[in-house]
Structure 1
Amino acid sequence: MEPIDLGVLSCFTGEPVDLSVILQTLQNRISPQPELVIALRRQVLSIKPHSLEIYQILADWILQMGEPLIACDLVVEGLQQWPKDYKLRQYMALALLNSGAVQRAYQLLLQLQQEDHQNTKTIALLGRIYKDMARQTQLPEEKQTYYRLSYEHYQRAYVLGQQLSAGIEAATLVLILGSHQQADQLAREVESACLQELETVQTENQDPYWCYATLGEVALIQQDWDKARRWYSQANQAGQGRLGILSNTYRNARLLLEFLGNDQHGILQCFQIPSVVVFAGHMIDRPQRSQLRFPAQLESLVNEAIQVQLEGLDARLGYCSAASGSDILFAESLLARGGEVRIILPFEREEFIQDSVAPAGAEWIKRFDRVIEQATEVIVVSQRQQGDRSLAYEYSNQILYGLAQMRANQLETTLTPLAVWNGKPGDGPGGTATMVQYWQNQGHPVQIIHLEALLHQVQVNVPPPFTPKAPSTLNTTDSALTVELTREIRAMLFADVVQFSHLGENQMAAYVQYFLGAIAQLSVTSYQPVHQNTWGDAIYFVFASVREAGCFALQLQKLMQETAWASKGLPEHLSLRIALHAGPVYRCVDPVTRRMNYVGSHVNHAARIEPVTPPGQVYASQAFAALVIAEGITDFTCEYVGRVPYAKGYGTFPTYFVHHHC
């Protein structure tokens, strides 16, 4: 391996961490210390490795940590330098698969299999895909077909390369297919080889995780419950912090136990996969607040209550905002536990500080800066506050919930909402009361820290009535504004015709009559937009919901694919690039056209996705994908593509591929 010259990282304790030490640890298959795990997880995207081998080591480790989206981004960066590297493309397939992008992973693996039809890892990954397909389908015959294909691939990988992980997968699947004797024989073969390997691993101080996990699955197949608990408990201990491999082992155990008749022996309790906690809570009271809700005197009690809740949940993964008061207390407590925090801000940092941090004092700004610096990720969902504060927070909170649910889905763990709330209606939409109601509507039991109960435990001096300063007079320019703007959260679709400029003048009549006419007919008979417009080759639709926008986009894509355009005097392969986004926009009457229109920065964001969308496909923003998850939409799915540079230097953003469920 080339000499590593990557400097040092700073972990949350502030101590310098030599990356070469971490990489050496990972190479030797030794579990790194938790502080090293946190340091590398936070800063991996800023690392620019100098060698292919480092990319491969990091990709493998990040996948073990249960961060498929970060792994995907890292591998994309590596493939820019080594586009044909077989191993990197295998990691890409696994990252896509773990993120839920099954079809894209499948296509990539089929390509890899064509290049090397005896590569055991590729064959085993195809086995994993067929197993996932079997779990997803509700059709018994289809399920059996997929399980059979999965078994055949795992068995082939085991025979070709004697991979113990492939062998135990094959044993599990042949058991599910009904051959108990064959499953038992194969499990015994794997057990014998695995026990020998475990001796070597322990002697050489290597990572024993896979041996423990494999032996646990062997014991399950043999229905030796005590032995299964012992091996799985050791696997859980060896895999602490590596949520990716723990969740995969948990998934396999659960599949077996469902076949054997549920978990009657407490096997699944051996796994300590933390739930994802999504948080909302009241800010510290501002001086002008007439009724006490979260006075400063309650800070220590609220902090203690949050710590008790996190301890009870064994919380390690959290999603929150970063306002003064509850948000920052939650983030500080989770970080102190060695957990990871992802922070979602409704608008840009400085504006957010002025709106939701600074009123509580300079010390809270310092604490805000610290949690932002220590957070695993900070996502800003709107460029600016843009007037309606409550709508900006409502939008941000919905995305917060969607991203948290997405993470829980990836790890196949539970999502736990936690709130610091006084139990009363809020000051307006977008606050804690709104979020508690939103979570409950999604079917979640919400853990609540009741501020009203805590208020009775302390002596609080009621502040004197607050007299606000008289508002300043608007300048003549502002006072002259008469345009009425209504702000709404809407889903937007932008599309353009691929190679429109190649159409001849004699094809324009056919383009208007047949092409635009077909789209117009679809917009009447399908999911009807609240606004539509065209100019040249561009098409712009606004919908009331992400479900309507996504379904319409896929129907539009189908229309493009199934219409015989050549018979209408147009190019045979006429197609569209289609882009989707959702966010707060302004509804107004355009003084020029005198028609209703939607404008704002989120319209610009949607428009910048469309030019980078591949012809014939539908791309969506992270916000759109998060809202799809938040609303429990099952009509279609959003699969992660990676961080994509948007048009006109707009920036680089996480982007998703939209398609029907297969």
Structure 2
Amino acid sequence: MSAREEGADDRELAYCATLALARMDDTSMALVLYENAGLGDSDDDDMLALRGRLMKDLAEKADSTGQPGLFANASAAYRAIYEHSGGYFPAINAATTALLAGDDETAKSLAAEILRIDEICEPGDYYAAATAAEAHLLLEQDSQAFEAMAAAVNWPDAGIGSRASTFRQMMLIGEILPDRAESVAPLLELLRPAPVLFYTGRMFREDEEAEAGLRGRIETALDDLQPDVAYGALACGADILIAEAVLARGLELNLLFPFQLEDFIAQSVLPGGKGWIERFNACLDGATRISFATEMGYIGDPGMFRYGSTVAMGLARMRAEHLRTDAVQLAIIEQGENGAGPAGTASDVAMWRDLGHRAVIVDPGPIDRKLDAPESVEMPRDV
């Protein structure tokens, strides 16, 4: 059933499309759609706030001469919502964009008002606490800003996306107003997103003793990297061990399979023994997101595995870019292996390094790589 059939009107659909364009960083097209759909004539606060966001996004991309006017437009859009409906979200955005427009007096006046709002005086969630920190920053109350932000990041709802949004806001203040950079720096350290992990590794048979040693080395690597998000596949051996460790830490696991699941199990899970299946299914159940590089089955081409790895790497890099952080590879492979093969762990490491990213290599130790041969699949002649 379509969104329209479910009752969404044209304006709601236009809002969703405009927001999607904004999130894809196509601000100009988003503004065209916003104006053509008449979203600015709505009495819906979310639709009205979207104009403020678009003006702010335009200002970020503008040169120094155009920025003040665009930030002022954004501030006016947010302030109109605040004066109409109240709420700390439009208020803090109006205040910060006023500061970025060079209107220090308005910024401080709004910040002082915000700190008198009940939800901010006694915050009950991450965004309220982070808003208090931002208001203190605008008032040049640096120690209070740090204390409020330190409390904010400890709220249960201080998720990856929420913290990243505040991180980008703080980065923007420091970039546009260099004289505030010193005040912003401690807040950035509190908010700095963890790296995004792309993992890959050797397939092997179940072996409790060998796994125990490797599991310890994986835990050490994760302790050092401290990721919040991981991307990879779920082959027997290293993939499953890493996925289990990621889930045990309560982190976000995103699985990317190169082709249909049934064929992947036959090619990359069962060759290590049937004992991996239960663990494979447990990781599958715990994953945040499951995606496929293609809906095809396996056609006997090892390049399909390489393509799957490439897609997973791309997803990890895109996520890192969105979060303003680094993408790091964790590879379970013997030191010194080259990436000459068409696919596999060594190929993944070589490709990742060619992209200019850091790879953390963990030795697999005494694993048993004598896998059962999967059923042979002959590549179609017309492929």
> For residues 146-188 of structure 1, what are the alpha-carbon distances to aligned partners after superposition, in whole Å with 9 as ceiling and x for unaligned?
3232222223222333332222222222222223233222222
Q: Does 1:131 align with 2:56?
A: yes
Tell me the alpha carbon deviations over residues 284-338 of structure 1, each in whole angstroms, 9 at most, x when there is no partner.
Answer: 169xxxxxxxx87532122122222223333231111111111111111111111
Distance 1:462 1:122 in 2: 57
User: What's the counterpart of residue 159 of structure 1?
Assistant: 83
- The alpha carbon displacement at 1:127 in A equals 1.0
Q: Is 2:196 aligned against 1:279?
A: no
Aligned partner of residue 428 in structure 1, secondary structure: coil
- Equivalent residue in structure 1 for 2:330, among 418, 437, 442: 418
CA 83–107 in structure 1, closer or farther in 2 if over 3 Å, else same: farther
Q: Deviations over 1:210-256 (max 9, x none)?
A: 32121111111122221111111222122545333322222112211
* One of 70, 87, 91 as aligned partner of 1:146: 70
Q: Name the counterpart of 1:353.
A: 265
For 1:234-284, what per-residue CA distance to the aligned partner results, in whole angstroms no more than 9, with x for missing partners? Answer: 221225453333222221122112323535652112226433211111111
| 2:98 is equivalent to residue 174 of structure 1 | yes
Q: Which amino acid aligns with 1:106?
A: L
Which amino acid in 2 is paired with 1:153?
A
Q: What per-residue deviation string (whole Å, max 9, x for no partner) do you get for residues 328-363 of structure 1? A: 111111111112211111222222222211121110
8 Å Cα contact 2:21/2:29 also seen in 1: yes
RCO greater where, 1 or 2, for CA within 8 Å and sep 6 or more?
A: 2
- Following the alignment from structure 1 to structure 2, what is the Cα–Cα distance between the partners of residues 326 and 315? 17
Task: Tell me which moved more, 124-133 or 272-281.
Answer: 272-281
* Corresponding residue for residue 164 of structure 2: 247
Higher strand share: 1
220-229 vs 242-251, which moves further = 242-251
1:319-330 equivalence runs, <5 A: 319-330=231-242
The more displaced of 175-184 and 263-272 is 263-272
Whether the 8 Å contact between 2:328 and 2:360 is mirrored in structure 1 is yes
Q: Which residue of 2 aligns with 1:224?
A: 141
Residue 84, structure 1, aligned to residue 84, structure 2: no
Shift, 1:119, TM fit: 3.9
Residues 114-166 of structure 1 deviation map (CA, whole Å, 9 limit, x = unaligned):
542x54432222111121222234x3334444323222222322233333222
Which of 278, 282, 285 lines up with 1:373 in the alignment? 285
Where does structure 1 lack aligned partners over 5 or more consecutive residues? Answer: 1-75, 287-294, 473-477, 486-598, 601-662
Q: 1:236 to 1:422 in 2, by over 3 A?
A: same
Q: 1:234 is matched with which residue? A: 151
Please report how far the alpha carbon of residue 106 of structure 1 lies from its aligned counterpart in structure 2 after TM superposition: 3.4
Shift of 1:397: 0.8
Letter matched to residue 232 of structure 2: C
Cα distance in 1, alignment partners of residues 88 and 76 from structure 2: 15
1:399 counterpart residue number:
311
Q: Following TM superposition, by how much is the alpha carbon of 1:84 offset from its aligned partner in structure 2, in angstroms?
A: 1.5
Structure that is richer in helix per residue: 2
Instruction: Tell me which moved more, 160-169 or 416-425.
Output: 160-169
**Cα deviation digits, residues 514-542 of structure 1 (max 9, x gap):** xxxxxxxxxxxxxxxxxxxxxxxxxxxxx
Structure 1 residues 394 and 411, CA, compared in 2 at 3 Å: closer, same or farther? Answer: same
Confirm or deny: 8 A CA contact 1:208 1:238 kept in the other structure.
yes
Give the letter aligned to residue 55 of structure 2: Y
In the alignment, is the contact (CA less than 8 A) between 2:95 and 2:106 conserved in 1? yes
Q: Quote the offset at 1:89 in angstroms.
A: 6.2
Change (3 A) 1:228 1:330: same
- Written as runs of structure 1 = structure 2, the 5 A alignment for 1:520-539 is none
**Structure 1: how far apart are the matches of 2:120 and 2:68?**
34
In the alignment, which residue of structure 2 is the partner of 1:443? 356
TM-aligned CA distance change 1:91 to 1:247, over 3 Å? farther
Kindly state the Cα deviation for residue 412 of structure 1 after the two structures are TM-superposed.
3.2
Matches within 5 A, 1:285-296: none
Find 1:209's aligned residue among 126, 129, 152.
126
Structure 1 residues 415 and 446, CA gap change in structure 2 (3 angstroms): same
Preserved CA contact (<8 Å) 1:319 1:343: yes
In 2, the alpha carbon distance for the partners of 1:449 and 1:335 equals 19
Query: 1:504-543 counterparts in 2 under 5 A?
Result: none
- The structure-2 alpha-carbon separation of the partners of 1:440 and 1:125, relative to structure 1 and needing over 3 Å to count, comes to same
In 2, Cα distance between equivalents of 1:133 and 1:313: 34
Matches within 5 A, 1:21-36: none
CA gap of 1:307–1:86, structure 2 versus 1, over 3 A, is farther
2:347 corresponds to: 434
Q: 1:126 to 1:253 in 2, by over 3 A?
A: same
Q: 1:174 to 1:115 in 2, by over 3 A?
A: closer
Deviation at 1:376?
2.1
Q: Which amino acid aligns with 1:210?
A: Y
- Please state whether the residue corresponding to 1:277 is helix, strand or coil: strand
C-alpha spacing 1:127/1:341, structure 2 compared with 1 (3 Å): same
**For the Cα contact (< 8 Å) 2:160–2:228, is it kept in 1?**
no
Aligned to 1:122: 47
What is the distance in 1 between the residues matched to 2:82 and 2:45?
Answer: 8
Aligned to 2:113: 189
Tell me which moved more, 272-281 or 363-372.
Answer: 272-281
Distance 1:396-1:85 versus aligned 2 partners, 3 A rule? same
Q: Which amino acid aligns with 1:444?
A: H
Match of 2:332, SS?
strand
Is the contact between residue 204 and residue 369 of structure 2 (CA under 8 Å) also seen in structure 1? no
Deviates more, 1:266-275 or 1:165-174: 266-275
Structure 2 residues without counterparts, runs of 5 or longer? none
Aligned to 1:495: none
Name the SS of the counterpart of 1:141 in structure 2: coil
RMSD: 3.3
**Counterpart position of 1:262:** 181
Q: Secondary structure at the match of 1:416?
A: strand
Deviations 1:382-438 (Å, cap 9, x if unpaired)?
31222221x111111110111122222333333222111212125712222222222
Do the aligned residues in 2 keep the contact of 1:316 with 1:337 (CA within 8 Å)? no
Q: Residues of 1 paired with 2:368 and 2:112: CA distance?
A: 72
Which stretch shifts more, 372-381 or 85-94?
Answer: 85-94
The amino acid of 2:46's aligned partner reads K
CA distance in 2, matches of 1:250, 1:119: 27
Match of 1:388 in 2: 301
Shift of 1:83: 1.8
TM-score under structure 2 length normalisation: 0.85
Q: Which amino acid aligns with 1:214?
A: T
Amino acid corresponding to residue 168 of structure 2 in structure 1:
R
